Amino acid sequence: MTPAQPATIGIGLVGYAFMGVAHSQAWRNAPSYFTLSRRPVRTAICGRDGVAAKAVAERFEWQSVETDWRSLLGRPDIDLIDICTPGNTHAEIAIAALEAGKHVLCEKPMANTVAEAEAMNDAAISAAERGVRSMVGFTYRRVPAIGLAKRLVDQGRIGTIRNVRAQYLQDWLVDPQAPLSWRLRKDVAGSGALGDIGAHIIDLVQHITSENLVGLNAHTATFIGRRPVSEGGSGLSGVAGTALGDVTVDDAAVFIGRLEGGGLATFEATRFATGRKNAIRIEINGSEGSLAFDFEDMNLLHFLDNNDDSDISGFRRIVVTESSHPYVGAWWPPGHLLGYEHAFTHQAVDLIEDIAHDRSPSPSFADGLRIQRVLAAVETSSASNGAWVALD
């Protein structure tokens, strides 16, 4: 007798560029490796450029293409809206989707302003009362080594947290001739390195430690104030021309924060770390031990148990590929490494299972709002020459 097939969940993806491709791969991979309570169906992909959207649809076998996200909301074959667009569109799409009864996955940062994030969270709270779920795409939470790090902290293996160091380093803006993309415009992106990559390490620190930031002081900098705009003059895409446009976001942000348990944390987010392509580094020091993670070696977690005898004490190198490690059992035998794209699959799996079992997904829109308040506090502190800003 053939076993019953799980119910489906129709996905409507808004956005077809970098994140759109990553999410497309995730929705395609999730049912192939994990046993799911509901089977995701790649129902429709949406983008203003119909030709480009169709090309991605063909690559990842999306069933249909739309050029206006609003058309997704009225379709009964779509249950979830996946938002992979620039930040200035997140609030409008997410709120409309939730009000239409669609579950929502929204890429980070959740919004461009605290006010937008508050409105999104209010919509999420109202929608949850009707069984409609929402989640923010802080995908690095789903890296197995990060999951193991959180497990060890939750088990008390490193004790009381004293110090945290978090870095996200990239170098794609070092060249002064790099064009003025939408990510360098505050009206579209909300902020620069701060929101684009800094949001990730803020979330990782709060997630792994289960402690929120209660205050901070910060500095931001824009190193190159004007860049070549595209041939079309919009600065949004295309080949750089001779005209210059203003960069209206930060190139780098650094800040010191205090966690609610009393520990101190330092954060650095920059797109000017020459030679660093996508380096995420987290180190957490506690009274009973320490943890260290480097995304450039993402299958490893370094762990020190301070209770070891002094003659054998030191950081141990854990290869996070055992079936007992988070998510890994669905993939390959021990020692066979996972990569960047796997975390997106894990994100899709968790969201599907939360929806199927009527659970609140994590990170929630409330978590996204909390991050947005931290980003705003960084900008406020920097504008006040590094003044301390308290966080609720």
Q: Are residues 276 and 333 in the same domain?
A: yes
User: How much is the average pLDDT of 296-316?
Assistant: 96
Query: What is the C-alpha separation between 71 and 12, in angstroms, rounded?
Result: 10
Q: Is residue 1 part of a domain?
A: no
Give the residue numbers spanning the domain of 220.
Answer: 143-390
pTM of the model: 0.95
* pLDDT above 70: percentage of residues in the chain: 96
If phi > 0 it is left, if psi is from -120 to 50 it is alpha, else beta; for residue 17 that is: beta
Q: Are residues 201 and 309 in the same domain?
A: yes
Query: What is the C-alpha separation between 241 and 181, in angstroms, rounded?
Result: 12
User: How much is the average pLDDT of 63-74?
Assistant: 98
- The pLDDT, as a whole number, for residue 239 is 46
Q: Residue 104 in contact with residue 85, Cβ under 8 Å? A: no
Q: Residue 213 in contact with residue 287, Cβ under 8 Å? A: no
Q: Are residues 46 and 185 in the same domain?
A: no
Q: Are residues 153 and 130 in the same domain?
A: no
Q: Are residues 204 and 127 in the same domain?
A: no
Q: Are residues 105 and 187 in the same domain?
A: no
Q: How many residues does the chain have?
A: 392
- Residue range 203-233, pLDDT digits in tens: 999 999 999 999 999 999 999 999 999 754 4
**What is the count of structural domains for the chain?**
2
Q: Is residue 350 part of a domain?
A: yes
b/e burial code for range 137-173 (CB count within 10 A of at least 16 → b) = bbbbbbbbbbbbbbebbeeebbeebbebbbbbbbbeb
CA-closest candidate to residue 206, choices 387, 389, 370:
370
Interior angle at CA 140, CA 134 and CA 145, nearest 5: 130
For residue 299, which phi and psi values (nearest 5 degrees)? Answer: -90, 5
| Assigned token pair, 136 | 């923010």
- Residue range 117-151, pLDDT digits in tens: 999 999 999 999 999 999 999 999 999 999 999 99
- Strand-pair partners of 7: 38
- Given a cut of 80, is residue 2 above it in pLDDT? no
- The pLDDT, as a whole number, for residue 207 is 98
Q: Is residue 87 part of a domain?
A: yes
User: How much is the average pLDDT of 304-323?
Assistant: 96
- Given a cut of 60, is residue 235 above it in pLDDT? no
- What rounded mean pLDDT belongs to the chain? 95
Q: Is residue 43 part of a domain?
A: yes
pLDDT bucket at 392, cuts 50 / 70 / 90: confident
Q: Is residue 2 part of a domain?
A: no
β strands within 172-315, DSSP E: 213-221, 226-230, 240-246, 252-259, 264-270, 279-286, 289-294, 300-305
| Assigned token pair, 232 | 């079309």
Q: Is residue 26 part of a domain?
A: yes
- The pLDDT, as a whole number, for residue 242 is 75
How many CB atoms are located within 10 Å of the residue 351 CB?
A: 25
CATH number at residue 131: 3.40.50.720
Q: Are residues 159 and 277 in the same domain?
A: yes
Q: Is residue 98 part of a domain?
A: yes
- The pLDDT, as a whole number, for residue 6 is 80
Boundary of a domain, candidates 117, 139, 161: 139
Q: Which amino acid is at 334?
A: P
User: How much is the average pLDDT of 66-75?
Assistant: 98
Interior angle at CA 218, CA 216 and CA 223, nearest 5: 160
Q: Are residues 69 and 213 in the same domain?
A: no
Q: Are residues 261 and 158 in the same domain?
A: yes
- The pLDDT, as a whole number, for residue 240 is 47
Q: Residue 126 in contact with residue 118, Cβ under 8 Å? A: no
- Strand-pair partners of 109: none
To which residue do tokens 């996955």 refer? Answer: 105
- Given a cut of 60, is residue 114 above it in pLDDT? yes
Query: What is the C-alpha separation between 9 and 40, in angstroms, rounded?
Result: 5
Q: Are residues 153 and 118 in the same domain?
A: no
Three-state DSSP at 194 gives helix
| Assigned token pair, 71 | 């058309």
Q: Are residues 368 and 334 in the same domain?
A: yes
CATH number at residue 236: 3.30.360.10
Query: What is the C-alpha separation between 320 and 334, in angstroms, rounded?
Result: 8
Measured CA to CA in angstroms, residue 19 lies from 14, 15, 107, 120, 283 at distances of 10, 8, 8, 21, 27
Q: Are residues 22 and 50 in the same domain?
A: yes
Q: Who's near 88: CB < 8 A, 6+ residues apart?
A: 112, 187, 188, 189, 190
**CB-facing half-sphere around the CA of 193: CA atoms within 13 A:** 27
Q: Is 369 exposed, middle or buried (0-12, 13-18, 19+ CB in 10 A)?
A: buried
Boundary of a domain, candidates 102, 121, 139: 139
User: How much is the average pLDDT of 343-361?
Assistant: 98
Helix (H) / strand (E) element for 379: namely helix 365-383
| Assigned token pair, 75 | 């379709």
Q: Would you call the peptide bond into 228 cis, given omega within 30 degrees of 0 as the criterion?
A: no
Boundary of a domain, candidates 124, 139, 154: 139
Q: Is residue 73 part of a domain?
A: yes
